[in-house]
Amino acid sequence: MIAQVRAELLKVRSTRTTVGLLLGMVALILLFVLLTGLLSSVESLSTVEDQRQLLGIGALAGVFSALAGVLLVTSEYRYGTIRPTILFTPRRGRVLAAKVVAATLAGIVFGAVGEALGWALGYAILSGRGITFALNGGDTVQLVLGALAGIALWGAMGAGLATTLRNQVGGVITLLAWGFVVSPLLFGLVPSVGRFMPSYAQDSVIGLTTQHLLTPAAGGVVLVGWAVLLAAAGLAVTAQRDVP
């Protein structure tokens, strides 16, 4: 199993896809932190919640972590490398598990880079504008570690979702639509259901106090639940269907 995870990590490292995603993530986080930090008034950056929003922008890394997870799986189907992969490891559950683990580990890297960047830049902007730092130590730890765990789990969710769907374009579109269209709509219309969507569960984990969100602990359980559910769906599909 460790050997299989090493092989999957080599797949992540040996193409330019991952570096491309990392660069895209860095650019997007830079842009959002700069826009939010420089265009907001001093008043709207002074409460704990305001500063959580600014310093939590690094959690956007979750999108890229999930995309990396999706691509780790769907590029195998797109380019046919799934055939040699399964020929070398016919136990499909083992391949899936290794991909989920590798995507989670890759997610930790995405999270570490994204969080470090978002946090450092946000903090620099706050102090540069002379705004008093409002978060205490506990808030800070929760914001950073919560985001890191969430971002890592997004990688696992991406890999599980992609194993269920197989198709690369379909996987990417499903992921983005789910995260940026379906979940916000659901949260807006039926918050009691929408708060169980992974993006809102992650908001609760990092300590955001938007109305209707779950408690941080419940949010964490929900995120892990999504990762397990999607991996289980992937396993069910993969055991049933022939390798293309």
Partner 1 sequence: MAAAVVAESLTKRFGEVLAVDDLSFSLEPGTITGFLGPNGAGKTTTLRMLLGLAAPSQGRALVFGQTYAELERPSLRIGAVLEATDFHPGRSGRDHLRMLGQAVGVPDSRADEVLALVELQEAGRRRVKGYSLGMRQRLGLATALLGEPDLLVLDEPANGLDPEGVRWLRDFLRAFASDGRTVLVSSHVLAEVAQTVDQVLIISRGRLVAESSLEALTARLGGAVRVRSADPTRLAAALAHEHFNSTPNNEHGLIVSGTTSERVGEIAFAAGVAVHELVTEGSSLEEIFLELTAGEQS
Q: Name the helix (H) or strand (E) containing 1.
A: none
Q: Nearer to partner 1 by C-beta: 85 or 104? A: 85
Closer by beta carbon to partner 1, 90 or else 128: 90
Rounded least distance, CB 122 to partner 1, Å? 34
Residues of this chain that interact with partner 1 (CB under 8 A) are 3-4, 6-7, 10-11, 14-17, 75, 79-81, 83-91, 242-243
**Under 8 Å between Cβ of 52 and 206:** yes
Cβ-based neighbours of 220, under 8 Å, separated by 6 or more: 146, 149, 201, 205
Query: Closest CB to partner 1 among 183 and 238?
Result: 238
Query: Which residue lies nearer to partner 1 by CB, 24 or 90?
Result: 90
Distance CA(67)–CA(63), nearest Å, equals 6
Q: Cα Rg for the chain, rounded, in angstroms?
A: 19
CB of 10 to partner 1, least distance (A): 4
* Residue 98 beta carbon to partner 1: minimum distance, rounded to whole angstroms: 8
Q: How far is the CB of 60 from partner 1 (least distance, A)?
A: 25
Helices (H), the chain: 2-13, 17-39, 48-55, 61-79, 82-88, 92-128, 137-165, 168-177, 183-189, 191-194, 198-205, 216-240
Residue (17 or 40) nearer to partner 1, CB: 17
Shortest CB 99 distance to partner 1, Å: 11
